[in-house]
Structure 1
Amino acid sequence: MKIEDLLSDDCIVLHLELTSKSQVIDKMLSIVADHPGVKDHDKLRQDVLKREKEMSTGIGKQIALPHAKTDAVSSPVLALATLGTEINFESIDNEPVQLVFLLATPEEMLAEHLKLLSRITRLAGREDVRIRLMAASSADEVLDLFREEEKDFPQI
């Protein structure tokens, strides 16, 4: 399973103008509301917020990765947003966030969930990839970037 296989153009939003962490999470959840893998949007929201309360998903390097293992989805769900304005996400490095991924996987897909978190972190953690994502002007450009960057990565 690759990022490019999970991410679709309707789950990519570029240059969002929001002002708070809660607005970002709400927007990310609204982006995936109609995703065919989402069975229960309210439960998904509860599970993502519960995970966020345990510890901020601001992972550093201007990236946030709200996520949940949940029975609210029947298959992995992934969304991506770039932010027009940096937002405080209580990140581990105390840096504001500009790039946000939302990942939700079914409860029984723990190994895949961890591998996807790792893959997203490894790719988006590279400065050259972050710069290209932030400069992207279309969802197709984002998908092409992941296609190119993942061509040498093994399948999960």
Structure 2
Amino acid sequence: MKIESLLSESFIALNLDLASKSQVIDAMLDLVATHPSVCDKEKLRQDVLKREREMSTGIGKAIALPHAKTSAVKHPVLALATLHKEINFDSIDNEPVRIIFLLATPEEMLAEHLKLLGRITRLAGRMDFREQLLLLKTPAAVLDLFREEEKDFPQI
């Protein structure tokens, strides 16, 4: 399972003008609300917020990765957003974020969940990738970037 195979243009939002961590998480949850694999929007919201309360998902290098293993989805769900301005996300490196991934996987897919988290952090952790991503203007261009970057990655 590659990131580009989970993402679609409908679940990519670019250059959002948001001012707080809670606004970002709400926007990401709203973005995936119509995803065909989401079977319980409120449960998904509760599980993502519960995970965020346990520890910030601001993973450093301008990236936030709110996520949950949850019964609210039937299959993995992934969304991506970039922000117009940096915001505080209580990141582990104390730096603001501009790139947000939301990942939700069924509870029984722990191995896949961890592999997807690892793949996202490995790819988005590269400065050149983040710089390219922040310059893109369309969801189609984002998908093309992931397709190109993942062409040599093995399937999960």
TM-score class normalised by the smaller sequence: over 0.9
Q: CA deviation at 1:49?
A: 0.1
Take 2:85 and 2:150, find their aligned partners in 1: how far apart are those partners? 28
Once the two structures are superposed, residues 49-73 of structure 1 have per-residue CA deviations (whole angstroms, 9 ceiling, x without a partner) of 0000000000000000000000000
SS at match of 1:36: coil
Partner of 1:40: 40
Q: TM-score, normalised by structure 1?
A: 1.00
1:87 aligns with 87
Quote the Cα distance in structure 2 between the aligned partners of 1:41 and 1:99. Answer: 23
Q: Which amino acid aligns with 1:67?
A: H
Query: Counterpart in 2 of 1:78?
Result: 78
Structure-2 separation of matches of 1:74 and 1:64: 23
Q: CA deviation at 1:121?
A: 0.2
How far did 1:117 drift?
Answer: 0.2
Q: Equivalent residue for 2:103?
A: 103
Q: Which amino acid aligns with 1:77?
A: V
Query: How many angstroms apart in 1 are the aligned matches of 2:19 and 2:150?
Result: 32
- What CA deviation, in whole Å up to 9, does each residue of 1:119-146 have, x standing for no partner? 0000000001000110000001000000
Aligned-residue CA RMSD (Å): 0.3
Unmatched tracts of structure 2, length 5 or more: none
Q: TM-score, normalised on structure 2?
A: 1.00
Question: What's 1:61 paired with?
Answer: 61
SS at match of 2:100: strand
1:127 pairs with 2:127: yes
> What amino acid is aligned across from residue 142 of structure 1 in structure 2?
V
DSSP 3-state at the match of 2:98 = strand
| 1:74-133 CA distance string (max 9 Å, x none) | 000000000001000000000000000000000000000000000000000000100011
Q: Tell me how far apart the structure 2 counterparts of residues 113 and 131 of structure 1 sit (CA, whole Å).
A: 26
Q: What 5-or-longer segments of structure 1 have no aligned partner?
A: none
Instruction: List, as ranges, runs of 4+ consecutive aligned residues in structure 1 with deviation greater than 6 Å.
Output: none
Instruction: Indicate the residue corresponding to 1:116 in structure 2.
Output: 116
